[in-house]
Amino acid sequence: MSQDSFTEVTSQSWFSRIGGAIKGVLVGLVLFVLAFPLLFWNEGRAVTTYKSLKEGGSIVATLPSDNVDAANAGRLIHVTGLADTEAVLTDPVFNVSVKALKLKRSVEMYQWKESSSSKTTKKLGGSAETVKEYSYSKEWSNRLVKSDNFKQPGGHQNPSAMPYDSTDQTADRVTLEAFVLSPSLVAKINSFEPLIIGTNTPLPAAIRETAQFYDAGFYVGTNAANPEVGDLRVKFEMVKPVEVSVIAKQAGNSFEPYLTKAGKSIERLQTGTHTAEAMFEAAQAGNKMMTWLLRLAGFVCMLMGLNLFLRPLSVIADVLPIAGTIVGAGAGIIAFLVAAPASLITIGIAWIVYRPLLGIALVVVAVGLAVALQGKLKAAKTAKAAA
């Protein structure tokens, strides 16, 4: 891998840093405020999804997939079988054809990439010096890297466009025995595997002189062992006919999302043969995971907002760097101690709306935490005064 680098040193005055920190206060306020509706909405989403999945699990009917019974129209059904097609998918550029549910062309180009790292050192008086190192390396990428935006574009020029794009094709008609899978269900089938390109595949005329078969695909360039900027690697993947399990509303001989009384729609597909019970259990587990991820996102959003809001204090104290470090650490602790109970109270209020008993309990815990924090701060202040 070819690589080079250069270093840039910049300085920022104390007043400039204060100005930047003050501008960040507005961003902090926005983040802090946005965290509340995010946390509240997430709890409603979690409860509605849970109730919808419970409802679906209680009414779903497991049916054979080799026969479509019109009497089941509109019902939430569960079927398993082979997702198959008669379609032959053909790449229009590289003349690759295969009978498959999906065909994906992946194109990578050898290009320069820019990476950077920086280290900021606080100076006495509140100014700061930043040492930023830019490094350049040649790597394979499936996206065009615009070298015009590099800090040092000279000697690191990339082509202005990808000669070929990565593409995806999907069969127009995919069946599940007697049923036809809807496009939204077919989109959930992603069991891709490599498509080995035979050496007897004719190459497009435009690249016949520069392309070669390489690593089960095509290589467009002079020497695959010693790539140059602009060289291409082209590979293909496919989704062969595969066993799937579906839970959705029967609509004619196809499927639609089933709208539950709780307000969420159900339309699920998993590759492999799974019972309806196992599919609903997996859906509930996914709902729990998403709930906790969004709770964490809301808390982090609130924490970041408070840190930005309090940052001017540490910048002001940076006249003496060690003082700024201490104030910054203290501000971080305060931000955490405010964000934690605020997040819990928000979730608790949402639970009062969606889960009354659990919500009241959580609000009590959060208020207790806030009271305990206030008590400790008073005790610390009293002890300091006595000393």
pLDDT digits (tens, 9 = 90+) for 283-327: 999 999 999 999 999 999 999 999 999 999 888 888 888 888 888
Q: Which of 80, 135, 81, 89 lies closest to 112, judged by CA?
A: 135
**Length of the chain in terms of residues written:** 387
Secondary structure (3-state) at 319 = coil
The answer for residues whose C-beta is within 8 angstroms of residue 260's C-beta and 6 or more apart is 51, 52, 55, 56, 266
Are 77 and 185 in contact by the 8 Å Cβ rule? The answer is no
Q: If you write DSSP's letter for every residue of 326-374 in order, what string do you get?
A: HHHHHHHHHHHHHHHHHHHHHHHHHHHHHSHHHHHHHHHHHHHHHHHHH
How, if at all, do strands 76-84 and 61-62 pair? parallel
Round to whole Å and give the CA distance between 64 and 204: 46
Alpha carbon 17 to its chain centroid, in Å, reads 33
As beta bridge partners, residue 169 has 103
The CA distances from residue 36 to 29, 302, 337, 342, 345, in Å, are 12, 8, 16, 9, 10
Token code pair at residue 218:
């095509």
- What is the per-residue pLDDT for 353? 78
**Residue 386, pLDDT score:** 61
**Crossing angle (nearest 10°) for helices 276-317 and 14-59:** 170
Could you give the CA distance from residue 17 to residue 376 in angstroms, rounded to a whole number?
33
Name the residue among 278, 280, 277, 252 with its Cα closest to residue 266.
280
Give the model's pLDDT for residue 76.
Answer: 97
Which helix (H) or strand (E) segment is 20 a member of? Answer: helix 14-59
- Measuring CA to CA, which residue among 231, 191, 192, 234 is closest to residue 93? 234
pLDDT of residue 200: 78
Q: How far apart are CA 343 and CA 364, in angstroms?
A: 13
State which H helix or E strand residue 4 sits in.
strand 3-12
Distance between terminal CA atoms of the chain? 63
Weakly modelled stretches of the chain, pLDDT under 50: 1-2
Q: What does the angle CA 278 – CA 283 – CA 289 come to, to the nearest 5 degrees?
A: 130
